[in-house]
Structure 1
């Protein structure tokens, strides 16, 4: 039982870390090695100083939707972990972790919605930048996409987990 709790906690913390990185780091869309865009900034690397120069993105409704959904995903996953810890110590024997599981699954669904919106509306989101057809998805988008099944699986595990001691 202890090994199962450790594995679920590691899975949860790993997916939460990946969510944080994908929300805050700057690589949702990459044009080349010297220009990237994320949910918050458009950045390019200055060849002279070898530093990144960033400007705030021009917000539109689609970008604000992706931003809000990713932040919600991080919030629900964080709440889910804190509630899990609280339930672990306060719940009576035989109790199920339903609320924790539903929060984690909801984090997965909001992350999934954010990835879908960005994938299908990237032309509108990146319209004020360069031509989106000349770029590719960055590693933060990939991390967010990988988080979807991890969050849903951990949510399912929480729903079926029963407190033994």
Structure 2
């Protein structure tokens, strides 16, 4: 039973880490239809003639955007550190030990992503700084994926805190 829980926690951690990477790297935090998107790093437009995305780096970075970028990167860093610490503890910790440090790092990662998603939620008008009508756009799938990572990171952090090394 404990081996199954251990496998579940590892898979949950890796899936959440992959979701975080996708949320940071993909180009859909805000979308105006199917042809124009904005993410944390670029503004992109779909070119029908070449059937490719044309992306330009953001020239105007607000303090809010920099905060979201930093917090998302911090979330990935803490989640990655958490996984490496877990692997280290798995092979060096004595039997019966608890994975407190791993769980704490994962919870801090969850709080970082929560703060980033919350800032983007309430400050997206300032972050986008666009003359287009924002009511014509909507939050993209990367934004939703970032919000989905928050409870998953917290859950895995709590599971790590309660997980005991058996062998």
TM-score past 0.5 threshold: yes
CA RMSD of aligned residues (A): 0.8
Note the alpha carbon deviations across 1:12-50, whole angstroms, 9 max, x for none.
000000000001110000011000000000000111111
Whether the 8 Å contact between 1:122 and 1:132 is mirrored in structure 2 is: no
Q: Could you list the runs of 4 or more consecutive aligned residues of structure 1 that deviate by over 3 angstroms after TM superposition?
A: none
Task: Show the counterpart of 2:22.
Answer: 21
Task: Single out whichever of 123-132 and 6-15 deviates more from structure 2.
Answer: 123-132
Whether the 8 Å contact between 1:66 and 1:114 is mirrored in structure 2 is: yes
Unaligned runs of 5+ in 1: none
Whether the 8 Å contact between 1:73 and 1:111 is mirrored in structure 2 is: yes
Unaligned runs of 5+ in 2: none
Note the alpha carbon deviations across 1:47-84, whole angstroms, 9 max, x for none.
11111111111211000000000000000000000100
**Match for residue 89 of structure 2 among 82, 87, 90:** 87
Alpha-carbon shift at residue 131 of structure 1 (Å): 2.7
Task: Show the counterpart of 1:100.
Answer: 102
Alpha-carbon shift at residue 129 of structure 1 (Å): 5.7
CA distance in 1, matches of 2:18, 2:132: 30
Instruction: Give me the TM-score of the superposition, normalised by structure 2.
Output: 0.97
Size of the aligned set, in residue pairs, is 165
Give SS of 1:36's match: strand
**Cα distance 1:157–1:22, how it changes in 2: closer, same or farther (>3 A)?**
same
